[in-house]
Amino acid sequence: MNAAGEAWREANRAMWDERVPIHAASRFYDQDGFRAGGGDVNAFEAEEVGDVTGKSLVHLQCHMGQDTLSWARRGASRVVGLDFSEPAVEVARGLAEEIGFGPERASFVVADVYDAREALDGAVFDIVYTGLGALCWLPDLDRWAEVVASLVAPGGFLYLAEFHPLCDALDWDTGTRFTRDYLATDPMVDDDGGTYTDGPQDTVNNLSYQRTHPIGQVVTALAANGLRVDFLHERDWTLFGHFGSLKPTDRGYEQPPGTPRAPLMYSLKASKS
């Protein structure tokens, strides 16, 4: 099924399109620093993915391409970023050129993730990468896993890093009480202005649809499409103050000692034999 015309898609895309210029100018994404050689994927991602030298990599839902380009800086021989937001892809292309990667080394494609196979002309990659804050925008994980599996070259793998879906079900003050069904299948519909980089903003396209994808659903969808899970790491720390109770530490944000801990992020590697 083609995703075009579905209400969630148009709303989410308009929401993301409007936020691109805000993000491109933000301290959060620090594009001047990135152009000057700064910025990178998270250290745990680099460690878990391992040496990418000479490998091809596709980054699904790449936003403005900074992580995509970071994998190229780390030695990947060819990186392709894909995102359904045209303004985001335009920024990514500009960044690639500014830091000296031509299209044969780093290219960016405007497409819905569900249409990635066609948009990438059936190409396969040593590494399929998807980073934090991506899966929640997708309504159907089975379709996603089918697409992902089709993009992994034999002997290659998917690497996925995400915020833990359990966080969606816990209270925002303490992160210790259930306030929502972890297994809920209905979308979380949001209509707040602003964005995570700059807080409240005078934005117009605010309607968005997000989903919780329980870990079991992710693993089962990948297994059903022929990928073998090599690891699934759940972490008790995250990268922002998701709950009011989380305290900044050396690693990021964590519950203070003595507070019951839920997993806050996870990462997964799944291979194609």
Q: Compute the CA torsion angle 8, 127, 24, 95 (nearest 10 deg).
A: -130
Q: Which is nearer to ligand SAM, 162 or 255 (CB)?
A: 162
Q: Which is nearer to ligand SAM, 82 or 246 (CB)?
A: 82
Distance of CA 57 to the CA centre of its chain: 14
Helices (H), the chain: 7-24, 31-35, 43-49, 66-73, 86-98, 116-119, 141-151, 215-224
Q: Which is nearer to ligand SAM, 131 or 175 (CB)?
A: 131
- Supply φ then ψ for residue 234, to 5 degrees: -100, 140
Q: Is the dihedral of CA 14, 19, 24, 25 positive or negative?
A: positive
Rounded distance between C-alpha atoms, residue 206 and residue 14, angstroms: 8
Rounded distance between C-alpha atoms, residue 210 and residue 204, angstroms: 18
Q: Which is nearer to ligand SAM, 138 or 170 (CB)?
A: 138
Q: Whole-number minimum distance, CB 202 to ligand SAM, in Å? A: 20
Q: Whole-number minimum distance, CB 273 to ligand SAM, in Å? A: 28
Catalogue the E-assigned strands of 115-200.
Answer: 125-130, 152-163, 188-190
Rounded distance between C-alpha atoms, residue 17 and residue 205, angstroms: 9
Q: Whole-number minimum distance, CB 208 to ligand SAM, in Å? A: 9
Q: Answer for the pair 195, 23: CB distance below 8 angstroms, yes or no.
A: yes
- The binding site for ligand SAM (CB under 6 A) comprises 12, 16, 61, 63, 66-67, 83-85, 88, 112-113, 131-134, 137-138
Q: Whole-number minimum distance, CB 39 to ligand SAM, in Å? A: 10
Q: Whole-number minimum distance, CB 257 to ligand SAM, in Å? A: 30
Q: Which is nearer to ligand SAM, 85 or 238 (CB)?
A: 85
Q: Which is nearer to ligand SAM, 161 or 169 (CB)?
A: 161
Give the 3-state secondary structure of residue 32: helix
Q: Which is nearer to ligand SAM, 119 or 229 (CB)?
A: 119
Q: Whole-number minimum distance, CB 259 to ligand SAM, in Å? A: 27
Give the sheet arrangement for strand 265-271, strand by strand.
Answer: 106-110, 78-83, 56-60, 125-130, 152-163, 265-271, 228-235
Q: Whole-number minimum distance, CB 265 to ligand SAM, in Å? A: 12
